Amino acid sequence: MPIHYEPGDDHIVRITIDRPEARNALDMEHFAQLRQAWERFDADDAAWVAVITGVGQDFCVGADLKTYIPQITALAAQMRDGVTEIDGYRLDDGVKAVLRNVKLYKPVIAAVNGTCVAGGMEMLGGCDLRVAADTATFGVLEPKRGLFAGGGTTVRLPRQIPYPAAMELLLCADRLSAPRVYEMGLLNEVCPPDRLLERAEDYAHRITANGPLAVRKTKESVLRGLAVDMREAYKIESAISSEVFASEDAVEGPKAFAEKRTPEWKNR
């Protein structure tokens, strides 16, 4: 089954991993489809927030090791002569699909419906807000198999939650419950499974009520600032601030407030 991309009339896109027969594991085709979904979301001016979730009992368990390793090895062999794409597939589909080192400044909300391990955890680190069903489980399980979580987890996790909590996840390689990782600070909210999408979309609607350019530029300032020292981060923040204050939305927001009406955002 495919990766579903469902745009709504409310500026919210829902992206769904629909491969329950393989626990929502991803092979080359599905990594490529997920990368393409993020690129479509980024390019669509009418799409302001994305919610990503899974079908069935799993959010995402990462790469389908039965098929992905032979596929990526064969693809790499074909690309030795400098070819970067074959039949729509790229060597970097896997890392782009899990939002590693991707310049995506629109907000992404994870609605974690079930098991979130391996590449699922990698992608979770690239999401801005995270809501999980109380039955969901989480884990950086690669060390149990002598492997390495190289899709961004060792970089992002210690920057997103307290160091001891991050190292418990990274080094013990245990599978933990949603309430436990909520205590660690990895999640915004835990809820019953039947309320998962409702709660995730509530966050999305709260975001889309705000100026879309201001929201996007705020995320950009945060992500770019985290990658440099504080002096450079302040320079980035000042430049982005000037850009936002010069926008049409920066005129519309205060005007709508003064006139006691809902702003009509132009996204520019």
Tens-place pLDDT, residues 150-192: 889 999 999 999 999 999 999 999 999 999 999 999 999 999 9
| Percent of residues, the chain, with pLDDT higher than 90 | 81
Same fold, 3-208 and 212-258: no
Average pLDDT estimate for 223-245: 97
The Cα–Cα gap between 266 and 247 comes to: 9
| Percent of residues, the chain, with pLDDT higher than 70 | 94
Residue 82's pLDDT band, with cuts at 50, 70 and 90, is low
Active site residues: 122, 142
Average pLDDT for the chain? 93
User: Tell me, which fold does domain 212-258 have in CATH?
Assistant: Lyase 2-enoyl-coa Hydratase; Chain  A, domain 2 (1.10.12)
Integer-rounded Cα radius of gyration of the chain: 19
pLDDT at 94: 81
* DSSP summary character for residue 261: S
Is a pLDDT exceeding 90 seen at residue 43? Answer: yes
User: Which CATH number is 3-208 given?
Assistant: 3.90.226.10
Confirm if 52 and 201 have CB atoms less than 8 A apart.
Answer: no
* DSSP summary character for residue 30: H
Cβ neighbours around 138 below 10 Å, total: 27
pLDDT at 86: 63
Residue whose tokens read 């909210």: 189
Confirm if 143 and 86 have CB atoms less than 8 A apart.
Answer: no
Which residue intervals of the chain are DSSP H helices?
28-43, 68-78, 93-97, 119-124, 153-160, 163-167, 178-184, 196-208, 212-226, 230-245, 248-258
pLDDT at 69: 72
Token output for 221: 């300032």
**Residue among 25, 20, 18 at smallest CA distance from 62:** 25
pLDDT at 93: 81
Domain ranges of the chain: 3-208, 212-258
Angle at which helices 230-245 and 248-258 pack, to 10 degrees?
A: 70
